[in-house]
Structure 1
Amino acid sequence: MTDARKPSGTKRDKLVANLRAGHKSARQRSTAPAASPSTPAASAHKPGAFDFSELAPVRQLRMHRAAADMIGLDNPFFQPHEGVAGATSVLHGTEHDNFSSYNYLGLTGDPRVNAAAEAAIRTYGTSASASRVVAGERPVHGALEAALARLHGVEDAVVMVSGHATNVTTIGHLLGEGDLVLTDALVHNSISEGARLSGAARKNFPHDDLDALEKLLIDNRHRYENVLIAVEGIYSMDGDFPDLPRLIRLKQEFGAWLLVDEAHSFGVLGKTGKGIAEHFGIDPNTVEMWMGTLSKTLSACGGYIAGSKALCDYLRATAPGFVFSVGLAPPLAAAALASAEILEQEPERVARLAANGQRFLTRARAAGLDTGNSAGYSVIPVIVGDSIGAATLSNRLLKRRINALPIVFPAVAEKSARLRFFITSEHSDAQIDRAVAATAEELALLREQNVGFGSLVKSARD
């Protein structure tokens, strides 16, 4: 009997060929020549709205879904969590050990944080209802910015409604034509988009290769007015961090600016969670821009830039993503402020997180799992090396009540497809040991069964 989900004959072969081609480049589009205005395809106009299903990227997405269906691979994404996502989470009515939440210090759902948000709702409602420049300013905004500046050890901070938008609008606004942005090859998409928006020239250096960065500065600094170096405090895919002291020496030697994205390192690195500057014992005022998000350690949503008062005042007055956006919702600002205060009062949470990360990393490596260059703090990958294998491993762990999501091509190179484990201060030793053992067992079975892209090709041709 034929499986109704499987394409047959020519369609099967075309699917396999397209999948192979799709793995060569994240930017690949249809290879068909563009129709000229005189051709019927270009000149014919259908009534109604444009059908976006005809776009090449949408067709590619449908093809990937068809390929997954063909081999019975369930979509591991968009699983609804039915409560607070912390060290455990309820999915489909069942409690799972959860390693896919960046609730690093367990503050999302903390009664004190909830109470602060509830009080803000009673006082201010659910929205600021305007740009802060116009009529959206609330006392809690200034209090949160003062707390962030204090925690980072700098003069000021400015809070925005989105972590992604914070990088985009800040970099896009401060840099322009005649400037240069130098980025680690693994920086977050928001940094890349900000550089693209700015119109500045952009050059990547290989991940964590500061010798290559130095050569780029030697070869290019004299050609540009302003140069920004952008790195992450902890890299969100790999869990490692840069040599901040050397970065500071390089940017000072060449008169560049430095932006450190602390989305995954604030509340994580340093004895009291103040980030990578505390970890290295560096004066934070030697870095021009500290960027962070409110959605991880600070259990809310939004982003911020911390640095000099002059920088923050300028962004408040002119940055499009701040001036032309509604102010951060007061309950979110209040939740973030309460989380910041708990971080200051309870540094033992940071110590528990560090111990849990090291436990996971040590046991994973002892079990033969490839954790890449992770330093064993908030983010630890288990590299599978194949997108289909990574998604299958995630689904098999889910059946064992362990939630760890895959990161697949094109988010990472195909050979670097992985499961990404987020560690929290609230995970127990038993949860960590269980997750490592189950991952090692299931990955060994996958490799024994040769599950991966090769099996997809075989399935399509059977």
Structure 2
Amino acid sequence: MESKLNKKDKEYSDSELQKYANIYEVHSFKELEKIVKKYGESLVQKTYNALTDKISRNTINVNGKELINFTGYNYIGMSGDPIVSQASMDAIKKYGTSVSASRAVSGEKPIHRKLEEKIAEFVGKEASVTFTAGHGANVSTIGHLFNKDDLIIHDSLIHNSSWLGTLLSGAKHIRFRHNDAKDLESILQKHRTRYKRALILTEGLFSMDGDIPDIPKYLELKKRYHTFLMVDEAHSMGVLGKTGRGISEHFGINPNEIDILMGTLSKSFGSCGGFVTGSKKFINFMKLSCPSFIYSAGMPPSNAAAALASIELLEKEPTRIKTLHDRSRLLLQLLKEADLNTGECRDSPIIPVIVGNAVLAMTLSSQLEEHGIYALPLAYPIVKKGESRIRFFVNCTHTEEQIHFTVATLKQLIKNNKENLE
């Protein structure tokens, strides 16, 4: 083995981590250590993996201190809502804390079927299947449906779960430039006829930039080149559209034109888990053959009940969506008026403030916390070099006063730091 290692690999070959990871994973960990060394261990530790307490809504308790919270995706305030919490507790009393089996065996409960029927109805699809995790839903669905005879063309910024599912499938995969329909079409023109099936894979709302793809254009390409279209609606379902029904409602298109709509329950729907929607035949096929559905224990009843209650509550209180949109527009407007770089963000509760320098992003995050505001930085390799940022997640429980205070504070801190750099 030693003779096969290059000089850089040999540097890390004796690491204690070698017991638990391959040589390249160890190398990556060393790169992470370099980041800690560069930015300062205390700053990195203070910024990430902080101990939080209590419910994550417009405020959060961090290391015993109450802060205005822009780090969570409890977009419409369902997590912590008394009605949702009560539904979850009632399910535990009735079914226990676990179904104690795969749903294919004896873990199928009425609450699962009610939730899946409600999801399909809410999204506007024929049927749905739920999974214990959103990440696993993407990995298993994509990995299960496609194979080496197929082509997957995906946005360059798709989520890790979609990327791992693509790798698992064994399909030929080509990335197109982020939200670039022209680049997507050029790839289809060149490669589509070489493969039995093709999938266009994208998201409804991207979590790093808060931008939205041109789904109507993707639908045109899907029809012209006879492909499937799958949209990961983890951040767009319960967020986009007048009533929160996601990317289809946002663009005014029939959701059945999109072959596969995937979503999570951990964001707008105040629970944990994932779901995939489609035709009845497709969903029945998934329930009979998808590995992560068959070989995993069923979703805990408390999670299913919380998600079901959240969707039902949203249908009764659609003003949550309007408030979310209003607060998001207010933050974006104020940031732009302050001449801060918000990138391509639009119509989104995910709003980045791009500052470029990674150290500045981490410093600003730390200083914001000192002023009672919790917003975390993103730096390379999570985002491109030179595009380090502070990312803000807005939810419907934020007040206008909190948003005005946050922008005024951030503007002053950026000014102070730039003066110090000069």
Please report the TM-score for the alignment, with normalisation by the length of structure 2.
Answer: 0.94
1:283-325 alpha-carbon deviations (Å, 9 max, x no partner): 1111100000000000001111011111111111111111111
- In the alignment, the residues of structure 2 paired with residue 102 and residue 52 of structure 1 have an alpha-carbon distance, to the nearest angstrom, of 32
Is the Cα contact below 8 Å between 1:288 and 1:307 reproduced in 2?
Answer: yes
Paired residue type of 1:286: E
Residues 43 and 362, structure 2, Cα contact 8 Å, conserved in 1: no
- 1:11-26 alignment, distance < 5 Å: none
What amino acid sits opposite 2:295 in the alignment?
F
Could you say which residue in structure 2 is the equivalent of 1:295? Answer: 266
TM-superposition CA deviations, 1:352-385 (whole Å, max 9, x none): 0000110000000000110000014220011111
2:253 is aligned to 282
Alignment equivalent of 2:155, drawn from 184, 196, 199: 184
Provide the C-alpha distance between the structure 1 equivalents of 2:228 and 2:409, rounded to a whole number of angstroms: 45
Q: Residues of 2 paired with 1:361 and 1:63: CA distance?
A: 34
| Correspondent of 2:362 among 386, 391, 406 | 391
SS in 2 for 1:167: helix
Separation of aligned partners in 2, 1:96 and 1:334: 30
Counterpart of 2:174 in 1: which secondary structure?
strand
Aligned with 2:185 (options 206, 209, 214)? 214
Which residue type is aligned with residue 329 of structure 2?
Q
Cα distance in 1 between the residues matched to 2:36 and 2:210: 29
Q: Deviations over 1:316-351 (max 9, x none)?
A: 111111111111111001000000101111110000
Q: Tell me by how many angstroms 1:74 deviates.
A: 4.7
Cα offset for 1:439?
1.4
Q: Tell me the residue number matched to 1:32.
A: 7
- The SS at the match of 1:135 is coil
Q: Does 1:357 align with 2:328?
A: yes
Could you tell me which residue of structure 2 aligns to residue 432 of structure 1?
Answer: 403
Corresponding position of 1:225: 196
Range that drifts further, 438-447 or 380-389: 438-447
Q: Which residue of 2 aligns with 1:86?
A: 57
Q: Conserved in 2, the CA contact under 8 Å of 1:264 and 1:296?
A: yes
Aligned pair in 2 of structure 1 residues 394, 178: CA closer, same or farther (>3 Å)?
same
- Distance in 1 of aligned mates of 2:230 and 2:316: 28
1:72-106 Cα shifts (integer Å, max 9, x gaps): 55531111221000011112222111011100001
Residue type of the alignment partner of 2:148: E
Q: Name the CA distance, whole Å, in 1 between partners of 2:255 and 2:35.
A: 45
Contact persistence 1:361–1:376 (CA under 8 A): no
Of residues 270, 295, 314 in structure 2, which corresponds to 1:343? 314
Contact 2:150 2:198 in 1 (8 A): yes
Give, in whole Å, the separation in 2 of the partners of 1:232 and 1:58.
29
Q: Which structure would you say has the larger Rg?
A: 1
Structure 2 CA distance for partners of 1:266 and 1:49, relative to 1, 3 Å: closer
2:106 aligned counterpart, secondary structure: helix
**Structure 2 match to 1:203:** 174
The answer to whether 1:267 aligns with 2:242 is no
Taking structure 1 as reference, are residues 389 and 223 closer, same or farther at Cα in structure 2, changes over 3 Å only? Answer: same
2:417 aligns with 446
Provide the residue aligned with 1:402 in structure 2.
373
Q: Which amino acid aligns with 1:279?
A: H
Amino acid at match of 2:335: A
Most deviating of 405-414 and 293-302 = 405-414
Q: 1:231 to 1:49 in 2, by over 3 A?
A: closer
- Whether the 8 Å CA contact 1:264–1:378 is kept in 2: the answer is no
Q: Which moved more, 1:185-194 or 1:141-150?
A: 185-194
Distance 1:377 1:78 in 2: 26
Q: Normalization by structure 1: what TM-score?
A: 0.86
SS at match of 2:200: strand
Aligned to 1:21: none
**Of 337, 341, 346, the match for 1:375:** 346
With 90-99 and 398-407 compared, the bigger mean Cα shift is at 90-99
The gaps in structure 2 that reach 5 residues or longer are none
CA deviations 1:9-51 (Å, max 9, x no partner) are xxxxxxxxxxxxxxxxxxxxx962666xxxxx98x999x9927
> How big is the shift at 1:200?
0.5
Matches of 2:31 and 2:360, distance apart in 1: 20
How far apart are residue 53 of structure 1 and its match? Answer: 11
The equivalent residue for 1:325 is 296
State the 1:62 CA deviation: 2.4
8 A Cα contact 1:181 1:229, kept in partner: yes
Cα deviation, residue 423, structure 1: 0.6
Q: Percent identity?
A: 40
Pairing partner for 1:250 from 197, 221, 225: 221
Q: SS at the partner of 2:296? A: coil
Contact 1:73 1:392 in 2 (8 A): no
Cα separation, 2, equivalents of 1:292 and 1:221: 27
- Unpaired runs of 5+ residues, structure 1, are 1-29, 36-40, 452-462
Deviation of the 1:57 alpha carbon? 2.1
- Aligned Cα RMSD in Å? 2.2
Distance 1:65 1:34, change over 3 A: closer
Q: Could you tell me which residue of structure 2 aligns to residue 50 of structure 1?
A: 19
Q: Is the 8 A contact 1:53 1:59 kept in 2?
A: no
